Structure 1
Amino acid sequence: MAYDQFAYVYDRLMSDVPYDEWMSFLIRQKEVFKVDGMKLLDVGCGTGEWTVKASVAGFETVGIDLSESMLSMAQQKAMEAGQSIRFFQMDMSEAEDLGQFDLITIFCDSLNYLETEETVQETFKRMYDLLASDGIFMFDVHSVYKVKELFAGQTYSYDDGEAAYIWNSFEGEYENSAEHELTFFIREEENLYSRFDEFHKQRTFPVEQYKKWLVEAGFTVENITADFNETDPHELSERIFFTCTKR
């Protein structure tokens, strides 16, 4: 997965992403579990859009991501917003030496970019080590239904006159996985567009499998909800949310 070119159009194409709903989810969980601290680790922070919003909201925020170009954009956003945020280029399954955090988030289905059971399990262990004893770990993932029914075999498109994409999704090589072929067209001049291609892979697992791995890593799974609502997941849920504490 290469985000180097994708980073430059990511924010335009993700303009309708519900960052405010992730913030509301974070605040609700912080209140429910009476977390007083404000040290936040944003894992898979991308271009830092949500990371900067969290910092503006008063959190002492650190962001990590694999993509150097996305982190460069994130740092620029932080500077423009007048926020002091530390960013690190780091694989979430190898995260270490960052200190302890009151809140850890892996939002916007970033965890689904891990392709193997082992890397998901290792990520949970790393998050456990980075979480303060009275902190909470929160993440969301695509549901099995979404990967199998709404991704595999589907084609999506977008065009706002300045940027466009064609997005083809296929069944992936692993169970409950999808492969995404994206072709982007970015307007350079009146009748001139540049094109680049991206290939992404995502994989998810059943809710009970995630829960098992979390417990094995040492977490207590406090809440499992769906689609930004305080409701239990059902067979047509698309995004599954987990909130965990340390045992």
Structure 2
Amino acid sequence: MNYAFFSYVYDTLMDVTLYGKWLEYTNRHLEKSGQRVLELACGTGELAIRLQQSGYRVTGLDLSDEMLSLAMNRQLDAGVRFPLIQGDMRQLEEVGSFDAVTCFSDSLCYMRDENEVLKVFKSVYRILEEDGWFLFDVHSIHKIDNLFPGYMYNAELEDVVFLWTSYAGEEPHTIEHDLSFFIEEEDGRYRRYDETHRERTYPIPMYTNLLKQAGFQHVNVTGEFGLSDIEDTTERWFFACKK
């Protein structure tokens, strides 16, 4: 997934209140006394920093060099330090072992098919200590099928004009986000850059079956940030899986 330009507007577009909710969800499942936490798809590092400040020993992993560069700068601004790894969540063999792994902000929805999702689950299971937790969220089918198609968002930042349009993909429960960036250059003219982000989700029984194939036997699925049961209109599903 190419975040070459999206990474620089990500924080501007992100609802920052979500980071506190992800932190609270994590705190309800983990102890903070020095537990080793791997945050997959750590992005610009905001949640990883909050986890570190809360007492966890954090490692951040992301596929995007651009995101990791921003995460490093954010670390310096916050006055905290922890390892940042450029890597693929489907291949975690070299990152060590952890007491918990998190993967929030629907990052798993960027996997192309269920086989890739299974690779992530197996990879996470292998690096988790016994009794370790794997915490993640995904878009619900309701959100992918009913809320995203036709979504449009435009933003004018200091030197970037940003256009976002979403439409249904060809495969079941998929969505495609077309992102266009008009970036001001030194001569005052704007150059256009385009990215397409594809996301996919699956029925809850598919996720739980894949988790069991990977080895997880204790899986709890809830609605918004673990605070509600699953309903037809739930937009985000949260999974708490114990090894």
Moved more, 56-65 or 191-200: 191-200
Residue 122 of structure 2 contacts residue 214 of structure 2 at CA under 8 Å; is this kept in 1?
A: yes
State the TM-score, normalizing by the size of structure 1: 0.90
| Aligned residue among 193, 198, 206 for 2:195 | 198
Residues 161-193 of structure 1: CA deviation (Å, up to 9, x unaligned): 66542211111132111111012345679x765
Q: 1:50 to 1:13 in 2, by over 3 A?
A: same
| Aligned residue among 102, 106, 112 for 1:105 | 102
Structure 1 unaligned runs (5+)? none
Q: Alpha-carbon deviation of 1:59? A: 1.1
Q: 1:40 to 1:245 in 2, by over 3 A?
A: same
One-letter identity of the residue aligned with 1:133: E
Q: Give, in whole Å, the separation in 2 of the partners of 1:102 and 1:213.
A: 21
Q: Alpha-carbon deviation of 1:213? A: 0.5
Question: 2:76 aligned with 1:60, yes or no?
Answer: no
Q: 1:234 to 1:15 in 2, by over 3 A?
A: closer
| Aligned residue among 148, 151, 155 for 2:152 | 155
2:172 matched residue in structure 1: 175
Q: Give, in whole Å, the separation in 1 of the partners of 2:161 and 2:22.
A: 26
Residue 37 of structure 1 contacts residue 102 of structure 1 at CA under 8 Å; is this kept in 2?
A: no
1:116 matched residue in structure 2: 113
2:3 matched residue in structure 1: 3
Residues 183-216 of structure 1: CA deviation (Å, up to 9, x unaligned): 2345679x76554322100000111100011011
Q: Alpha-carbon deviation of 1:95? A: 1.5
One-letter identity of the residue aligned with 2:81: S
Q: Give, in whole Å, the separation in 2 of the partners of 1:20 and 1:188.
A: 36
Alpha-carbon RMSD across the aligned residues, in angstroms, is 2.2
1:40-55 alignment, distance < 5 Å: 40-55=37-52
Q: Alpha-carbon deviation of 1:37? A: 5.2
Q: Give, in whole Å, the separation in 2 of the partners of 1:186 and 1:48.
A: 24
Q: How many residues of Structure 1 are paired with residues of Structure 2 in the alignment?
A: 243
What SS does structure 2 have at the residue aligned with 1:196?
A: strand
Q: Alpha-carbon deviation of 1:223? A: 1.7
Structure 2 unaligned runs (5+)? none
Residues 136-161 of structure 1: CA deviation (Å, up to 9, x unaligned): 11000000110011112332333466
What SS does structure 2 have at the residue aligned with 1:133?
A: strand
Residue 34 of structure 2 contacts residue 55 of structure 2 at CA under 8 Å; is this kept in 1?
A: no
Residue 103 of structure 2 contacts residue 136 of structure 2 at CA under 8 Å; is this kept in 1?
A: yes
Residue 75 of structure 1 contacts residue 85 of structure 1 at CA under 8 Å; is this kept in 2?
A: no
1:1-247 alignment, distance < 5 Å: 1-16=1-16, 18-30=18-30, 38-159=35-156, 163-186=160-183, 193=190, 195-246=192-243
Residue 138 of structure 1 contacts residue 241 of structure 1 at CA under 8 Å; is this kept in 2?
A: yes
Residue 214 of structure 1 contacts residue 221 of structure 1 at CA under 8 Å; is this kept in 2?
A: no
